[in-house]
Amino acid sequence: MKIAVECKSPLLQKSLELFLSRYLSSTKKCDIVVRDVECLNDNRCFYISSSPKADLVKPFSKSQLVLALENRYKILKYEVVENDDEVLHDPLNFDILEKRIQYLTTEYQQNILKAVRAFYEK
């Protein structure tokens, strides 16, 4: 999961950068862009605000932030895989099969890491 942070609030910007330091990436290479300004027509946008329309409502904890972003990431990846499923029926297209196996492996790895994190956070 690659995340870019673009906030108008310098305090929120720095806080998110600290919380998400291991996931940070450039805007061009990221999967999700975290913003404090509502954005339209961009499915990669993750909106944080005190508004009820926000993807994550302030105030929030680091674990709430990471869980919400992981859920968004799964939704985005599911949409990509769902589109790829149509091509999976072609028996000669191994690239799609390879991507599907890679996606499932990554998802499995993330689930294991989440379980380990949950165990040590108790």
Domain residue spans of the chain:
3-121
DSSP strands (E only) in the chain: 3-6, 32-35, 45-49, 56-57
pLDDT in tens, 9-36: 999 999 999 999 999 999 888 899 999 9
pLDDT in tens, 99-108: 778 888 888 8
Topology (CATH level 3) of domain 3-121: Rossmann fold (3.40.50)
Angle, CA of 115, 116 and 119, to the nearest 5°:
85
Mean pLDDT for the stretch of residues 37-46: 85
Banded model confidence at residue 80, pLDDT cuts 50, 70, 90: low
